[in-house]
């Protein structure tokens, strides 16, 4: 004796299930986003020489939203210096060139904890700390 099963796919209900911000899929996406957010913050903690006030680390947020009708989790920050920290600057940045003055003969800056200004014709820049991209690895472990 053969058994038969019939499934009726209601596309409207399926779309609502996949796109609902209150559904199980949204909750799962948000959980994954929060794991990535937590790992990104840990990645910044592991580089204490770059942590000054903790503003960047504290500004990382996870937001559940929709994009073209699809649920999306966005993890990021609105701190203006996040991009240079993430991608690096100078020799280590996207342009791969030292940082040089534009309108003067030398760069002038005070090192952290220093009291006197330092003058340089160029500086190497800052190595990248891809704290967000590296945080995605936490999803591959599961």
Alpha-carbon distance of 45 to 22, in angstroms, equals 33
Whether residues 134 and 110 fall in one domain: no
Any idea of the CA torsion for 108, 88, 46, 55, to the nearest 10 degrees? 60
54-81 pLDDT, tens digit each = 899 999 999 998 888 788 999 999 999 9
Q: Give the pLDDT score at 142.
A: 58
Does one domain contain both 51 and 113? no
What is the predicted pLDDT for the residue at 47?
A: 64
Q: How high is the mean pLDDT of the chain?
A: 88
> Are residue 70 and residue 102 in the same domain, yes or no?
no
Residue 101 placed within a domain:
yes
Helix runs in the chain, H state only: 11-19, 24-45, 55-59, 82-87, 131-135, 137-140
Could you report the per-residue pLDDT of 1-31, keeping only the tens digit for each?
677 777 777 788 777 777 788 888 899 999 9
The confidence score (pLDDT) of residue 113 equals 83
Residues 111 and 62 in one domain: no
Domain of 22 in residue numbering reads as 11-78+130-140
pLDDT recorded at residue 36: 95
pLDDT of residue 69: 79
Query: Domains in the chain: how many in total?
Result: 2
Q: Would you state the pLDDT for residue 1? A: 64
Q: Are residues 59 and 118 in the same domain?
A: no
Do 70 and 107 have their domain in common?
A: no
Does residue 61 belong to any structural domain of this protein? yes
């Amino acid at each position: 004796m053969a058994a038969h099963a019939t499934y009726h796919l209601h596309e409207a209900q399926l779309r609502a299930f996949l796109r609902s911000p209150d559904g199980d899929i949204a909750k799962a996406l948000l959980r994954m986003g929060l794991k990535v957010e937590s790992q990104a913050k840990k990645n910044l903690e592991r580089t204490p020489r770059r942590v000054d006030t903790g503003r960047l680390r504290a500004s990382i947020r996870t937001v559940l939203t929709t994009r073209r009708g699809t649920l999306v989790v966005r993890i990021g920050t609105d701190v203006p210096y996040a991009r240079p920290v993430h991608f690096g600057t100078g020799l280590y940045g996207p342009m791969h060139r030292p940082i040089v003055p534009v309108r003067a003969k030398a760069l002038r800056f005070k090192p952290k904890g220093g009291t006197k200004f330092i003058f340089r014709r160029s500086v190497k820049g800052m190595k990248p700390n891809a704290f967000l991209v590296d945080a995605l690895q936490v999803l591959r472990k599961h």
